[in-house]
């Protein structure tokens, strides 16, 4: 019997915003990512085996590994600087009937 198992990594963007980079010193956009490695059985992800957090500088490419607590603080700081936009309901338009070719002949 052949059993197929393995691991697959999943990356999730948690927050993004402007910070001063510790490496290059430039105020640049930074992205906070969560990397989860999951155990798979027959290509079906079953459970997470590890979780890591990274902060990326988009200017110089520096990647900083963070702990869970540091990632939570960083996400709060980034979200406070750039709050998520409020979703507005779409305007409702009255349905207008389309003109029928039977009523008006097409113009040539």
Q: What is the pLDDT of residues 49-83, one digit of tens each?
A: 889 999 999 889 889 899 999 999 888 888 776 65
| Domains of the chain, residue spans | 5-81
The predicted pLDDT at position 53 comes to 93
Averaged pLDDT for residues 29-50: 87
Q: Tell me, what's the pLDDT at 15? A: 87
HEC string of 1-57 equals CCCCEEEEEEEEEEEEEEEECCCCCCEEEEEEEEEEEEEEECCEEEEEEEEEEEEEE
Provide the pLDDT for residue 22.
Answer: 83
- Looking at residue 101, what is its pLDDT? 56
Q: What is the pLDDT of residue 20?
A: 86
Cross-strand pairs, 37 = 9, 50
Q: pLDDT at residue 36 above 80? A: yes
Give me the residue label for tokens 């507005």: 88
Backbone angles phi, psi at 74, to 5 degrees: -65, -40
The pLDDT score that the predictor gives to residue 18 is 86
What does the alpha-carbon distance between residue 15 and residue 17 come to, in Å, rounded to a whole number? 7
Read off the pLDDT band of 87 (50, 70, 90).
low
């Amino acid at each position: 019997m052949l059993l197929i198992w393995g691991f697959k990594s999943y990356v999730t963007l948690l927050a993004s915003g402007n910070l001063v980079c510790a490496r290059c010193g430039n105020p640049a956009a930074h992205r906070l990512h969560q990397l989860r490695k999951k155990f798979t059985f027959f290509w079906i992800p079953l459970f997470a085996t590890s979780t890591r957090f990274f902060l990326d500088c988009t200017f110089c490419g520096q990647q900083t590994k963070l702990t869970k607590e540091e990632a939570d603080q960083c996400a709060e700081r980034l979200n406070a600087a750039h709050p998520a936009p409020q979703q507005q309901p779409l305007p409702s338009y009255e349905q207008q009937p389309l003109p029928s070719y039977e009523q008006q002949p097409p113009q040539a």
